[in-house]
Structure 1
Amino acid sequence: MTGLGSRSAAYTAVAAAQCLRRGQAAEMGGLARHWPLLVLSAGDVARMVLCRAVARPRPPAENQLAHCKGASFPSRHTALALLATGLASGSVPAAAGTAVVVGLSRIALRVHWPTDVAGGWLFGYGWLAASRIVADTITCGRGQPRPTDTPRRRPWPCG
């Protein structure tokens, strides 16, 4: 389960979802076409900067059931799983479910403290929400319908 939060899984899921939405993305053009990958990449970098700034050590290596290196707060696997699932599916419940499973697997592997996983959840949700606000601000001013005007909220952006 922890693999769902790896960089390769996260970037592949978001890129595949964009390919499947090719017609929708072509209508958006420019920045909006690549928005989900930009959000994921920027979130990954921001989380890494935060992790290095906090520099929280991991649980003791002798107790870990998987090999990990680097600081532990916030959990990269948890944050990326939430971001990728939210961006790829547009579903908050799916993103939450994936993030819970990945986060709990990171605790079970003893490579993160529970607060690292909670930090990953909060970071992921915060980044996803902030990016949604920015996407709505950028694109909805151009005559596109606001997401709340459509019967089902689509993942990115507006309409």
Structure 2
Amino acid sequence: MKEPLLELIQKVKAFLIRNFHQYNSKLPYIITVLVALIIVIGGINLFIELTEELKDQLLPQYDQAITDYVISFRNPALTKYFIFMTNVGDLYGYLIVVAISGIISYFVFKKWRGVVQTVFVLLLASLSNMMLKRFFDRARPSIEHLVSVETLSYPSGHAMSAMAFYGFVIYLFFRFKINHFLKTAIIILLVFVILSIGISRIYLGVHFPSDIAGGYIAGFIWVAFCILIFNLVEVFRRDPKT
């Protein structure tokens, strides 16, 4: 992503130099960040508008049909598995994963940046999820809950955090120079974890399928935004003219 970003910044620089007498070398980066923020805000706004449009028309029937199908598979073994996966997508699960990632990053990759960036993405997703839940104010499903819940329903915090956290980890692994088959296996595993955490919330009766879909979309928006910003910061640090 650095090359397209660098090319875009060079074009912004050329435009500013050509049209303005006073030029600040940091201005192209500021403009790029503002554009990124506008894109994210626009994406979230579109997400909200589409949700409002669908909520009273299509979502109820699809939510019911998908929920009935998922919970029809309930059995003791699957219940244990999905309770485990929902715990993986909870606070303590992330603390354990971050601790393990920190140890691997320190002893294997000798870098902390990826861990810090991943935690930052997770915090953004978690904070914005609380705001979105209050905005939509959607109650939990009225079916039997197999785990206890206290917050509102839409969008799913577990799905949103899983997409943001593990989605960003997938991006990091794409960049790692490791064995191709090992990289592919890890990425497939992380995708499976994201899907399992989302499905677990439907299976356990604490979320509608649309809650999960909304969480995934909102989490992906933050992943895309943070990837852009982190690459922009890296380009800025390496630019000899700043």
The TM tier, using the shorter chain, reads 0.7 to 0.9
**Counterpart contact for 2:86–2:201, Cα < 8 Å:** yes
**Whole-angstrom distance in 2 between the partners of 1:97 and 1:8:** 19
**Counterpart contact for 2:141–2:205, Cα < 8 Å:** yes
The match for 2:145 is 64
Bigger mean CA deviation after superposition, 83-92 or 117-126? 83-92
Once the two structures are superposed, residues 9-36 of structure 1 have per-residue CA deviations (whole angstroms, 9 ceiling, x without a partner) of: 12331343133212123xx6xxx77222
The match for 2:167 is 86
1:94–1:86 CA distance, 2 compared to 1 (3 A): farther
Of 195, 199, 204 in structure 2, the residue corresponding to residue 100 of structure 1 is 195
Asked if 1:12 is matched to 2:96, the reply is yes
**What is the TM-score normalised by the length of structure 2?**
0.51
The match for 1:42 is 124
Amino acid at match of 2:95: Y
Once the two structures are superposed, residues 27-74 of structure 1 have per-residue CA deviations (whole angstroms, 9 ceiling, x without a partner) of: x6xxx77222222112211111111121111001x5222221121111
Tell me which structure has the larger Cα radius of gyration: 2
RMSD (Å), alpha carbons: 2.3
Structure scoring higher RCO (CA < 8 A, sep ≥ 6) equals: 2
**What is the TM-score normalised by the length of structure 1?**
0.75
**Counterpart contact for 1:43–1:127, Cα < 8 Å:** yes
**Counterpart contact for 2:101–2:115, Cα < 8 Å:** no
Name the count of aligned residue pairs.
138
The match for 2:206 is 111
1:33–1:114 CA distance, 2 compared to 1 (3 A): closer
**Whole-angstrom distance in 2 between the partners of 1:44 and 1:36:** 12
**Whole-angstrom distance in 1 between the partners of 2:99 and 2:124:** 15
Bigger mean CA deviation after superposition, 16-25 or 46-55? 16-25
Amino acid at match of 1:99: I
- After TM superposition, where is structure 1 displaced by more than 6 Å over at least 4 residues in a row? none
Structure 2 unaligned spans of 5+: 1-84, 174-186
**Distance apart, 1:93 and its partner CA:** 4.5
**Whole-angstrom distance in 2 between the partners of 1:15 and 1:126:** 25
The match for 1:24 is 111
Structure 1 unaligned spans of 5+: 145-159
The match for 1:73 is 154
Spell out the pairing of 1:129-140 with structure 2 (5 A cutoff). 129-140=224-235
**Whole-angstrom distance in 2 between the partners of 1:75 and 1:51:** 8
